[in-house]
Each structure stands twice: as structure tokens, then as C-alpha cells.
Amino acid sequence: MVITKNHSPIILGQCLLLSKRSKFMPIVTIQQSPGRSKEQKQLLIQRITEAFEEAYELPPEAITVFFQNFDDEHWGKAGKLHCDRK
């Protein structure tokens, strides 16, 4: 799953094998600029977890979500660092 619009998060998904019965443990990484509140991140984790529970029929304990924040000096677009585009 990837979300891109302005400075919206990018969500990358991975799955780790839980057992030999083909159960997978999804690991979701959200790459974003800093600035989201704890409440916003909690809501996003809740909704991502619910989506995996429904789609993959997994318990919430099997789903891991990571947030990875990148300052404006640590990413670029169109050949320029984001901090230099302002």
C-alpha cells in the first residue's frame, strides 16, 4: 500500500512467515515527514490494523506498524532536497 499526495505518508508493506500453516505477520512501515501528532499516528495504526484483520483474517497481535520520519534535509524530489524547494 502506498499513499502519496503532497507530504502524505508512504506505506510499505512486508510479511513475515508466522508458521508453516501459511499465516503471515504483516509489517507496515510508514515513511513521512515529522509533524503528525501521537493521536494521528494512533488512529492510523488502528485503521491499518483493522484493515489487515479483515483482509487477512489475522489477530491484531500479528500486525506491526513502524513510523519512519524523515526531516526535510533527508529526502528530495525532482532533483532537489525538500528543504531547498521552499
What is the Cα–Cα distance from 35 to 58, expressed in whole angstroms? Answer: 31
Q: DSSP strand E in 1-86: where?
A: 10-17, 24-32, 64-69, 76-77, 80-81
CATH no., domain 10-84: 3.30.429.10
What is the Cα–Cα distance from 27 to 62, expressed in whole angstroms? Answer: 9
34 is annotated as an active-site residue = no
The predicted pLDDT at position 24 comes to 72
Residue-wise pLDDT for 44-81, tens only, equals: 999 999 999 999 999 999 999 999 999 999 989 899 99
Global confidence as pTM: 0.68
| Residue 52 CB burial class (10 angstroms; 0-12, 13-18, ≥19) | buried
Pick the catalytic residue: 26, 34, 59, 60?
26
